[in-house]
Structures are given as structure tokens and as C-alpha cells.
Structure 1
Amino acid sequence: MANDTNAQTIAQGSFDTQRDHAVRGGILEGAIASYESVATTFAVDMISDHSVRQQYIAHIKEISEQVRREVASGNMTVKEGAEYCSQLRDKLFVEYRRYTSALGVAIAEKLKLRTRGFDFYLNKYAQSQFRRDFIDLTAEQRHAVYFKVLSKAGDGNTDVTATVRRLQIIAKAAILGTVVLAINKILNAKDKIREAARQGSIIAGGMLGGAAAGMTVSFICGPAEPVCALALVLIGSNLGGIAAEGFNDVYQDELDAFRCWLSQ
């Protein structure tokens, strides 16, 4: 039965009636906290991966241009330049994974399984330019194919770059959503300082939990398993946020008790 005077719902039934029953928002609060911890971890990783990807592309482009200048000056042949760029690009691919998130590394490993050797690209460009296999080309035609491989060595994988850029946009939206939720919770809280500490604990705990989970990806998921890596990092972020929130609540309760003891 609705009480029109105070716009509250009176519970009717076989239990204690004619009193207000507060409905706790524990499920909603948990969902919000989970979103904040997971979204922040995902966002930070994706933005970082985009930055690493841009550095990688700039690096391979710089090397490609340097090698082309060496070829033009006669310090190396176009074949040597093409082979050098191909080998060095593979080494840089491995090196830059050290600065990539666990999910990014898993995706990179999966892409590496689909990569082809140097001879594949020789035949690919030979077919596209001359409609023949590389082995059947003349010396002049082979020179043109080597130069094509050398030129392409400075280009990043456009599909990967576009995917990373899209993820960065999603990551920025996730951070914005987290900030809006956190600010809203703080502004609507009775104890704003305590709520600010709680929100900070959730976000920091989520990031630490995600980072810790990321360190175990290679052991639990193995290489080239991005779905497993994503699930593991998200679970770690969620658990980290929950643990940090619980620790913060205990700390705040103990702090309140200590203050009450001091005031006596």
C-alpha cells in the first residue's frame, strides 16, 4: 500500500509490517565499482598500447628511410636493404611487446602466427607487379620487387593500427564514464572525503589487480590467446577493485573508531 504523504512504500506481509524497509543498493554499488575498476584498467592499457604502436610505426618508418638513403648512396644493394629492413622489423616487433599490455601482447602473438616470411612478400609483390613468381623475374624486375619490399617496410599494418585507434577511442570514453560516475558518487555522498577515498581505492585497486593478472597471462593462457588474456585481466581488475574497496572500508571504520576514542 502506498503512503501518499511521504511517498514511501509500506511493506505488507507476514513479517514486521507498518514500517519502512530500506532497500540497499548493494548490487548496483557493486556493479558500479566493478565497472570503474575494469574500465580504468582497460582504458589505461589501450591508451598506452596506442602510444606504443605509434612509436613502433615511427621507428620502422625512420629505419626504412635511412636504409633507402643507404641504397641510394650505393652503400648497400636494394636486396640487402630489403632483407635488413625485414629482419629488423621482426626484431622491433618483439622488442616493442615489452612495453605493451598483456592483452596487446596476446593479440601481437596471434598476429605473429599469421605472418609470412621474406620470400612470401617477394612473390606477393612479384605477382602484383609482373604477374609472375619472383624466381621467374629478370634481374631488373627483381630489383623493382626488392625496392617495393623496402618501401613497404616503413608502413605499419593498417588493420592493426585502425583497431588500436578504435580501442583508444573506446578507452577514452571508458575513462570519461568512470570519472563521471566517481564524481557523481562523491557529490551525492554524505561524507564526501570518505567517498572520494573509496572511489580512489576502487580505481587504484582495479589497476593493480589488472597489472598483477597481466603478469600471469603467459603462464595461464599461453601465447596468442587474446580472449583468455582479456578475461584474466578483467577478472584481476575486478578482484583488485573489490579487495581495495574492502580494505578502504575497514580502514575508514577503524579510523572512525580511533577518532571516537580520542574524543572521549
Structure 2
Amino acid sequence: MIQINRKKIDPSHLIDVACLPGLSGIAETSDEFTLGALTKYHTIETHPAFAGSLRALIEAASVIGGRQVQNIATIGGNIVNASPAADFVPVLLALDAVLDITGPNGSRSVPLQDFIVGPGKTSLLPVEIVTSIRLAKLPARSATAFVKEGRRRAMEISVVCVAACLTLEAGGSRCASVRLAIGAAAPKVFRAKAAEAYLEGQLADQTSFAEAGKLAAEECAPISDVRASADYRRRLVSIMVERALTACFERTGEERR
């Protein structure tokens, strides 16, 4: 509707999918969560199963717009809009989310990292809709975090946002697996693969986290706009990656206690 009001698109028809059954709500199995594409952010924010290792889902959902937006906006809409500054997409990307897509020719599943191909562009065909998003449950000694910086504290588009997912080795001192996703610092939300590769097997400490932040800053390709300069965004990426990883490490400590 925003794009229509801004005259960026001019569709001949609109179809309201809000009343279609099976497109909203959260389902859980022994190894994954399935989020209906029409699930609202307030539902994510208040879901008790996300208060542990998947806390980044709550952190992102709680800063998307205000309460009115969170009560009506859907996670499927945030994904399909494909904004480089989308707040929820980095968390889903860090969690290796998979999208279930349905059209007249049947259904298919697409990893989120392959679905968004550019700013405002996805691999969704005109006759298809996203029906659900699937997330695998995390192994033991895992935690997530989401951090966002804007020009004000609420109702603001991200200058930069970062989601991190950290799993520690059995001893609890080294990184076994790391996933870092960054928004508003490239033409689309992206994974900082060099920073992730560097951290695997490294000690989980401030030195390693700071180095990962520097590597992530080198991987980004920000623009200068009314919100921030490209250089400022790079500096933010470095700091915020370190901050998100530190939060993850502290949260794995809460689990061990």
C-alpha cells in the first residue's frame, strides 16, 4: 500500500490474503519452528519459546515501527518488500531461514539468502506467495542477538542493523559456528562470510569479536544518504558486530549457569 500511495507501482487488482487459512501463527516440532507468513510482530515478540536462544527474534520484532505497526505488519511482508534496511530479515538470515512458496504450479522451498536478489527485488514469481518461514532449532551452547542503530530510539529506519548467531564448542571458550547478517550496509541484507569464517575455532573473546567487526566492515558496501554517510555506516558495522557477538557470548553463559 505504501508503494501504491507513493506511485511506485500501479496494480490493476489487489487481493487481500489476510483471511486465507494456514498463513499465520507459530508451529513447533522437535527440530524446527514454522512461522506463517502473515504472523504479526507482536505475536513474535510475546512468544515464550523465543525468550531463550532465539531472543534476537524478539529484539527485532520489538523495534519494527511502533505498537500499531507491530499489531498489523507481517513477517512475510517484511521479507517480500526486500528492503536493504529491513530489521527482521537479518535475524532470519542469521538463522538460515527457509521460505515455503506456493503458486498454481505447486510449492517450493527457497533459502532466504537466495530469495532476495537486490533492493526491492526477490525471486518470487508474479503468481506466487510466501506461505511460511522455517527455522531450525539451535544446538546447545547457542545464542542470538540483534542490535540496531537509528537517528532516534523508536519509529526509525535502521542506519545499520546486525544479527548474530553464535554456537560455542563443548568447552565453552571457542566459537564452533557463527552467522552474522547485516542490514542497511549493502544493496541487500547480507551475511558477513569472511568474519564468520575467521571466528570459527577462535577464542570467544573481545579480541576476536573486534577483529570480526573489522572484517565485516570491509565486506559491506554502504551508501551515503540522508541518514548517514557510507564511512559512518562502516564504522557502525564494526562496532555493532562486536556488540552483537558479545551479547551472544554473555547469553551462552546464562545458559551454562
Using the size of structure 1 for normalisation, the TM-score is 0.24
Q: Which has the higher strand share?
A: 2
Kindly indicate whether structure 1 or structure 2 has the higher relative contact order, using CA contacts under 8 Å at least 6 residues apart.
Answer: 1
Q: Which has the higher helix share?
A: 1
